[in-house]
A = this chain, B = another copy of it.
């Protein structure tokens, strides 16, 4: 097994890289063969603290990771403004790319990345972990269940957490030079992805940002949201994201015959059990003195954290490409691009005074 594992190079020592590195080491079909940071010392400490294999090569640059022939794929948790540079370079060095979200500052940048991946035949996937949780698969089955859900009518997604003082002073996500999309990129990304996921990746026709986002003194968005309209069947969605409210991670999906809610869709409260709440075919009691049934909790137990399922899937796709048995899977790049297109539409709507913005693939 060991020799067939996909060998990751980790680009940088971001906090999120601790979580993903752990997942790579937990996942049967992947391992870590290198890490690079601008500071060799930081990389050494990071590799040690995160229990990287003894054999891991530790570099004082990102380029060295990309030049290492023992690296099949890179995980890129760098600030968003650096994605286009390093993801393109990685592709050019024939490294498969697992890219943190938001994938780019705009769809133009993303297209540059995707073109590089295409022309070099490497797999692209963004690191949207919750997509790979078996709970997500269960919820998707419900979305397609004619009896228990019916036709999707609307989705509301909320993602908020209260940024601490240190975050609001120093985090890259409030630095316009590093992550100029602020809360929209960092957490609005998840809401938009959830909405597209629920709509089976059919793009909305129109995106209209909510009025009066809140801004950091740096100019970066701290809270915002939007409504999304589809052309057919009254299909509709809203999202709201904020660095200024206590933690909330909701999807509410409403169908004609049923609905479901999940309250920890991005990071499950419990790593080993994912819950969601569903109800269908609700009826008023006589004289509307109540209604039934009550929503019930569905629990999905898992033996690996959701990010390990992500790494496993990425590893599986990379293995197919590496052995020349498969071409890179297009699904993930299409989903990334659609998510980015909606982000761009929200940005455009805000910039133009909260006007409706058409979304075209």
B250 touching A245 by the CB < 8 A rule?
A: no
A238 contacts partner chain B, Cβ-Cβ < 8 Å: yes
Expressed in whole angstroms, the Cα–Cα distance for A287 and B15 within the complex equals 7
Interface segment, A55-63, A78-86, A155-163? Answer: A155-163
Contact of A270 among B259, B279, B287, B290 (CB under 8 A): B290
Q: Given A229-B212, A248-B259, A255-B245, A240 and B15 touching (CB < 8 A)?
A: no
Expressed in whole angstroms, the Cα–Cα distance for A250 and B250 within the complex equals 12
Question: Of residues 325 to 361 in A, which have CB atoms within 8 Å of B's CB atoms?
Answer: 354, 356
| B contact residues around A169 at 8 Å (CB) | none
Q: How far is the CB of A51 from chain B (nearest CB, A)?
A: 12
A1 contacts partner chain B, Cβ-Cβ < 8 Å: no
| B contact residues around A223 at 8 Å (CB) | 153, 234, 236
A201 contacts partner chain B, Cβ-Cβ < 8 Å: no
Interface segment, A90-98, A186-194, A261-269, A311-319? Answer: A261-269
Q: How far is the CB of A194 from chain B (nearest CB, A)?
A: 14
The contact string, 1 if C-beta is below 8 Å from chain B, for chain A 206-238, is 101011111000000001010101000010101
| B contact residues around A16 at 8 Å (CB) | 288
Q: How far is the CB of A223 from chain B (nearest CB, A)?
A: 6
A132 contacts partner chain B, Cβ-Cβ < 8 Å: no
B263 touching A290 by the CB < 8 A rule?
A: no
Q: How far is the CB of A220 from chain B (nearest CB, A)?
A: 14
Interface segment, A31-39, A135-143, A291-299? Answer: A291-299
A257 touching B246 by the CB < 8 A rule?
A: yes
Contact of A162 among B161, B245, B256, B267 (CB under 8 A): B256
Q: Given A16-B288, A254-B160, A264-B291, A234 and B229 touching (CB < 8 A)?
A: no
Instruction: Tally chain A residues at the interface, Cβ within 8 Å.
Output: 66
Expressed in whole angstroms, the Cα–Cα distance for A294 and B270 within the complex equals 9
A321 contacts partner chain B, Cβ-Cβ < 8 Å: no
Expressed in whole angstroms, the Cα–Cα distance for A352 and B240 within the complex equals 25
Contact of A242 among B15, B154, B292 (CB under 8 A): B154
Expressed in whole angstroms, the Cα–Cα distance for A313 and B333 within the complex equals 59
Q: Given A160-B254, A211-B227, A252-B158, A291 and B240 touching (CB < 8 A)?
A: no
| B contact residues around A290 at 8 Å (CB) | 267-271
A234 touching B246 by the CB < 8 A rule?
A: no
Q: How far is the CB of A304 from chain B (nearest CB, A)?
A: 12
B212 touching A295 by the CB < 8 A rule?
A: no
Closest to A356 in B: B211
Ranked 3 nearest A-B pairs via Cβ: A247-B282, A214-B234, A245-B254
Of the A-B pairs whose beta carbons lie under 8 Å apart in the complex, a sample of 24, sorted by A's number, is: A18-B287, A22-B287, A150-B246, A154-B240, A156-B240, A158-B252, A162-B257, A210-B229, A211-B229, A212-B234, A225-B236, A242-B254, A246-B254, A246-B255, A246-B258, A246-B259, A247-B259, A247-B284, A248-B252, A248-B259, A267-B284, A267-B289, A270-B294, A271-B290
A interface residues with partner B (beta carbon < 8 Å): 15-16, 18-19, 22, 150, 153-154, 156, 158, 160-162, 206, 208, 210-214, 223, 225, 227, 229, 234, 236, 238, 240, 242, 244-248, 250, 252, 254-259, 261, 263-264, 267-271, 279-282, 284, 287-292, 294-295, 305, 354, 356
